[in-house]
């Protein structure tokens, strides 16, 4: 009786184990047949009723069956684990030969590119990069720059006023005064300052109510006009290349004396005269001059002891010349067909 029950249990268990499809089922079968409350244990509980001769025989059989079941459970477990691992590996395979997904790449805006180029050239000559506020006091934007309230030169820079004393700066030149004040009379001062400026102009191909300037300022003992010219020539040659001609031409700014403008031979016609240079053969690139004594004094510097030079250039203008852009509005309309051309700048 007992023997038949054990053999039947073994056969049933073996079949169930071989048929198990996953590790979870196998775990349940182990509990079902070999666990403390399992079927083999239940059968063995009836051993007490056996005779003394039968007991060791049945006991041995039961033990053999337990061992056999344990072995095939372990074997099945190993096989299922291996199959599960293989399935996972197959599922997670990465085909390293597949082409990558192209990611769209942005580009540096041409104005930013020009600012960085100009900064690098002047940093190479020992200048520091400064910044100043776009919402500025009338005093810094005009008054301290030798342009009192009734000065006619204010008309050249039609302004956006916020209050009577506060406006959107019309130029980066107020940063000259702010820099000198911050330096508290110390020398040498060598700074450049890029930034946005605002003027009440009607927008067209060459005018914008908001544009960008870069200011430069050097103050020290004995700074001379020849150093101004040498510095600007060194800059212009690095910026535009060696094969251009440059000239300095007298001009007027209230905050420099003497004042001048720097021209470059027209890159379109090479100096012959064309529509772009208005038949002059020359293109204006910046304004400059020796810092007016009144500006030094108003900024806390003794004009008897120190001299300096300053210059200012329009970033859009430089970028238009350098990259042959014919309309200032291209810088602000963010047409990707334009911007993509500056991917490698």
- Residue of 147, 310, 318, 328 that binds ligand PHE (CB under 6 A): 310
- Residue of 29, 65, 191, 288 that binds ligand PHE (CB under 6 A): 288
Binding to ligand PHE in span 204-223, by CB under 6 A? 215
Residue of minimal CB distance from ligand PHE? 312
Closest CA to 288 of 179, 220, 214: 214
- Residue of 195, 254, 308, 312 that binds ligand PHE (CB under 6 A): 312
Closest CA to 339 of 179, 171, 108: 108
Answer yes or no: are the C-beta atoms of 253 and 152 closer than 8 Å.
no
CB of 342 to ligand PHE, least distance (A): 25
* Of residues 157 and 265, the one with the C-beta less far from ligand PHE: 157
Q: Is 92 annotated as a binding residue?
A: no
- Residue positions counted in the chain: 345
- Residue of 132, 194, 195, 287 that binds ligand PHE (CB under 6 A): 287
User: Rounded distance, CA 134 to CA 211, Å?
Assistant: 11
CB of 193 to ligand PHE, least distance (A): 10
Q: Which range of residues in 42-50, 88-96, 116-124, 286-294 is near ligand PHE by CB under 6 A?
A: 286-294
User: Rounded distance, CA 264 to CA 270, Å?
Assistant: 10
Q: Which range of residues in 12-20, 101-109, 133-141, 284-292 is near ligand PHE by CB under 6 A?
A: 284-292
User: Rounded distance, CA 168 to CA 161, Å?
Assistant: 6
Binders of ligand PHE: how many residues, by CB under 6 A? 11
Closest CA to 134 of 98, 168, 97: 168
CB of 130 to ligand PHE, least distance (A): 14
* Of residues 173 and 231, the one with the C-beta less far from ligand PHE: 173
Checking DSSP bridges between strand 166-168 and strand 189-198, what pairing results, if any? unpaired
CB of 155 to ligand PHE, least distance (A): 13
**Strand, helix or coil for residue 57:** helix
Q: Which range of residues in 5-13, 118-126, 239-247, 306-314 is near ligand PHE by CB under 6 A?
A: 306-314
- Residue of 122, 140, 311, 331 that binds ligand PHE (CB under 6 A): 311
User: Rounded distance, CA 114 to CA 239, Å?
Assistant: 9
User: What is the DSSP track for 105-149?
Assistant: -----HHHHHHHHHHHHHHTTTPEE----SEEEHHHHTGGGT--T
CB of 132 to ligand PHE, least distance (A): 13
- Residue of 146, 231, 256, 307 that binds ligand PHE (CB under 6 A): 256
Does residue number 253 form part of the binding site for ligand PHE (CB under 6 A)? yes
b/e sequence 206-216, b meaning 16+ C-beta within 10 Å: eebeebbbbbb
Q: How many helices (H) and strands (E) does the chain have?
A: 11, 9
* Of residues 173 and 265, the one with the C-beta less far from ligand PHE: 173
Answer yes or no: are the C-beta atoms of 248 and 343 closer than 8 Å.
no
Q: Which range of residues in 44-52, 202-210, 218-226, 310-318 is near ligand PHE by CB under 6 A?
A: 310-318
Binding to ligand PHE in span 127-186, by CB under 6 A? 171, 173
* Of residues 270 and 293, the one with the C-beta less far from ligand PHE: 293
CB of 338 to ligand PHE, least distance (A): 26
Answer yes or no: are the C-beta atoms of 144 and 281 closer than 8 Å.
no
Long-range contacts, stretch 274-279, CB < 8 angstroms, 24+ apart: none
Known binding residues: 257
Give the residues lining the site for ligand PHE (CB under 6 A). 171, 173, 215, 253, 256, 287-289, 310-312
Known binding residues for Mg(2+): 257
């Amino acid at each position: 009786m007992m023997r038949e029950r054990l053999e039947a249990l073994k056969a049933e268990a073996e079949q169930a184990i071989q048929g198990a499809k996953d590790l979870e089922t196998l775990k349940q079968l182990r509990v079902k047949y070999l666990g403390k409350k399992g079927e083999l244990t239940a059968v063995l509980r009836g051993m007490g009723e056996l005779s003394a001769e039968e007991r060791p025989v049945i006991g041995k059989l039961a033990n053999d069956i337990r061992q056999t079941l344990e072995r095939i459970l372990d074997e099945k477990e190993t096989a299922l684990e291996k199959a599960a691992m293989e399935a996972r590996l197959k599922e997670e395979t990465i085909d390293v030969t597949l082409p990558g997904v192209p990611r769209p790449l942005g580009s540096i805006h041409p104005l930013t590119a020009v600012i960085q180029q100009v900064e690098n050239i002047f940093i190479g000559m020992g200048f520091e990069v400064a910044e100043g506020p776009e919402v500025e006091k009338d005093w810094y934007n005009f008054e301290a720059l030798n342009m009192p309230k009734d000065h006619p030169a204010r008309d050249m820079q039609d302004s956006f006023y916020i209050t009577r004393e506060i406006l959107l700066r019309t130029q980066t030149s107020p940063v000259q005064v702010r820099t000198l004040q911050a330096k508290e009379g110390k020398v040498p001062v060598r700074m450049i300052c890029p930034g946005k400026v605002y003027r009440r102009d009607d927008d067209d191909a060459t005018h914008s109510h908001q544009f960008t300037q870069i200011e430069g300022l050097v103050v020290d003992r004995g700074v001379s006009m020849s150093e101004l010219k040498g510095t600007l020539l060194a800059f212009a040659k690095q910026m535009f290349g060696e094969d251009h001609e440059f000239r300095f031409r007298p001009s007027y700014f209230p905050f420099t004396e003497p004042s001048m403008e720097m021209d470059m031979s027209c890159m379109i016609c090479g100096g012959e005269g064309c529509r772009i240079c208005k038949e002059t053969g020359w293109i204006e690139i910046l304004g400059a001059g020796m810092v007016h004594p009144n500006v030094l004094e108003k900024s806390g510097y003794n004009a008897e002891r120190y001299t300096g030079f300053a210059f200012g250039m329009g970033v859009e203008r430089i970028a238009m010349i350098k990259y042959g852009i014919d309309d200032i509005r291209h810088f602000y309309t963010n047409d990707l067909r334009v911007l993509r051309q500056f991917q490698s700048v």
